[in-house]
Structure 1
Amino acid sequence: MELSNKSEYALLALLELASRYSSGESLQIRQMAVLQDIPNRYLEQLLATLRRGGLIKSIRGAKGGYVLARDPRKITLLEIWSCIEGVEAVVPHVDKTPGTLENQLIHEIWQEARQAANAVLQKYTLQDLCERRGKKQQKQLMYYI
């Protein structure tokens, strides 16, 4: 399992939306693009995918933009990753022809690794990312005399 640019950019955009969830403030594409250094066109495509996946909502009008569709405590990283990368990224591909014993062993180990990775991503939420970011920002603000 690898973190693609697509997934990383989606997580960065969602992190910005999550940090504004409690205030109800929406963010426009160009604001998110500047804050996280994501190309506008690419971000548009990602946000459309996230909207179709039910993770964000778009708001029309002068004060429009995007907001999270649900509380960041209820959005897991696995849900985000599977929305962006597709269901096949989460559900392992099962080869119908078993092949050799060695092939079977390799596929069993890879399936076990995928399940472990999915379990970790299921354990963390968007809120967890926000909290970790806040802690790291606090540490960076500290200085010593």
Structure 2
Amino acid sequence: MMNTDADRRNYILLELPSKVEYALLALLELASHPGKTNLLTISEISTRQNIPDRYLEHIFTSLRRGGLVQSLRGSRGGYILAREPWQITVLEVVALVEGDRKQKESDNSIDRALVAEIWQKANHASLEILNRYTLQDLCQRRDALKQEGLMYYI
């Protein structure tokens, strides 16, 4: 039972699924190598981001079908972003990787409707935040954090 404000601050309501985390890390890696000639293989991305190859293959299938990445086969093959990083929202990545989620059917009791209403508000707030951030925003934040790290050691 949570009793203190500190307990509430550390409570995690929404877990970040590994699948979503890996997809975002892989897309960040692709965004770090812009251009149609800088293709990256699943093996390269897997190594750089410490993601299991097989898992990443499944994720890339969803990302390719969803139009976020393009693939080229052959000895010089690999993956590139299909769109600019500023055109890809975090919510879009989550939706592609996690698939459709439908609202649960509930009976018409007032108590259940009240609980569902609060949960819908929390869900709506989450969707708004995830839709507000793009892959470009994540790249810029990462680069800023790297710069802060460099300044820290000087």
Assess same fold via TM > 0.5.
yes
1:83 matched to 2:92? The reply is no
3-state SS of 2:86 partner: helix
SS of 1:61 mapped into structure 2: coil
- How far apart are the structure 1 equivalents of 2:110 and 2:74? 60
Residues 101, 48 of structure 1: alpha-carbon distance in 2 compared, 3 angstrom cutoff: same
| 1:121-132 to 2 correspondences below 5 Å | 121-132=130-141
Rounded to whole Å, the distance in 2 between the matches of 1:101 and 1:118 is 25
Alpha-carbon distance in 1 for matches of 2:153, 2:26:
33
Give the unaligned 5+ runs of structure 2: 1-13
Could you tell me the TM-score, scaled by structure 1's length? 0.91
Secondary structure of 2:152's counterpart equals: coil
Determine the structure 2 residue equivalent to 1:134: 143
Quick check: which has more Rg, 1 or 2? 2
Task: Give % identity.
Answer: 49
Task: Tell me which residue corresponds to 2:28.
Answer: 15
Cα distance, 1:96 vs. partner?
Answer: 4.7
Distance 1:51 1:139 in 2: 34
Equivalent residue number for residue 31 of structure 1: 44
> Any idea what the Cα deviations from partners look like across 1:56-107, whole Å, max 9, x if unmatched?
010122221000110010000000000001121xxx5042522x21211110
Residue 3 of structure 1 deviates from its aligned partner by: 1.2
Letter in 2 for 1:120: I
Residue identity opposite 1:80 in structure 2:
V
Write out per-residue CA displacement over residues 112-138 of structure 1, whole angstroms, 9 at most, x where no aligned residue: 111110000111100000000000011
Supply the distance in 1 between the matched residues of 2:45 and 2:99 (Cα, whole angstroms).
Answer: 23
List structure 1 segments (4+ residues) > 6 angstroms apart after TM superposition: none
**Paired residue type of 1:136:** L
1:44 and 2:53 aligned: no
2:75 corresponds in structure 1 to 62
- Aligned equivalents of 1:95 and 1:109: distance in 2? 15
